[in-house]
Amino acid sequence: MPELNDRKPMDLRRRGIYLLPNLFTTAALFAGFYAIVQAMNNRFEFAAVAIFVAMVFDGLDGRVARLTHTQSEFGAEYDSLSDMVSFGVAPALVTYEWALKGLGKWGWFAAFIYCAGTALRLARFNTNIEVVDKRYFQGLPSPAAAALVASFAWVMLDNHFTGHEVRWYACALTVFAGVTMVSNLKYYSFKDLNMRKSVPFIVIFLLALFFIFVSVDPPAVLFVLFLAYSLSGYVLWLPGLRRKIPGNPTL
């Protein structure tokens, strides 16, 4: 009997550790749900910020699970469902309520393309996780696509543009993000960066500059950053396309 009593604290500790990464996933899910609620209340700037908060929690849950050695199939599935809400449904509904509603069927069609692209992107990621190159994502990652759409709404609101004024730009950007998620373009994943190794001083200096720029004008800097990242896949794709063209002198 004493041995059984000694095991109980350890069992509770293990359950608590496994709960920890899922708490971050739940926080990300809540932020996505909060974004939807704020969009329904026409508070689109709060909705956009909530999507970025969801990105932070989504980035933490996997790292916490790896640090505590608590990865599980349940956590992976729960994370995908949370991503679908936070980076699929929430950005689509926020953009639709803010700018696309006035376009009629074209508006909800663009929002659906984005939402379906997120679902397909997540399904492909889950099925190919063991066979793809870890250094690159296949297609634009759903958090980056959500950040692109949300930061566009945020920067337009910050510069006093209404959704009606930029509705066609929002439509084009939403469709672009949705299609790029299901493309075969390669996007650098940053997973091969080892934060435990020493880095040059210039890296720390550049990180400091990045945080300074973000603090000066968060919506504009974040929009430019994620727009550049979304276009980086096409930049990496161009050299391969040139090599495939018959008669190309670079062959």
Q: Considering the chain, what percentage of its residues have pLDDT values greater than 70?
A: 81
The 10s digit of each residue's pLDDT in 160-171 is 999 999 999 999
Six-digit token string for 6: 């000694």
Say how far apart CA 122 and CA 137 lie, in whole Å: 11
Mean pLDDT across 119-125: 93
The 10s digit of each residue's pLDDT in 60-97 is 888 888 788 888 888 888 999 999 999 999 999 999 99
What integer pLDDT is reported at residue 159 of this predicted model? 94
The CA-to-CA distance between both ends of the chain, in Å, stands at 76
CATH class of 2-238: mainly alpha
Residue with tokens 């934060």: 195
Beta bridge partners of 137: 187
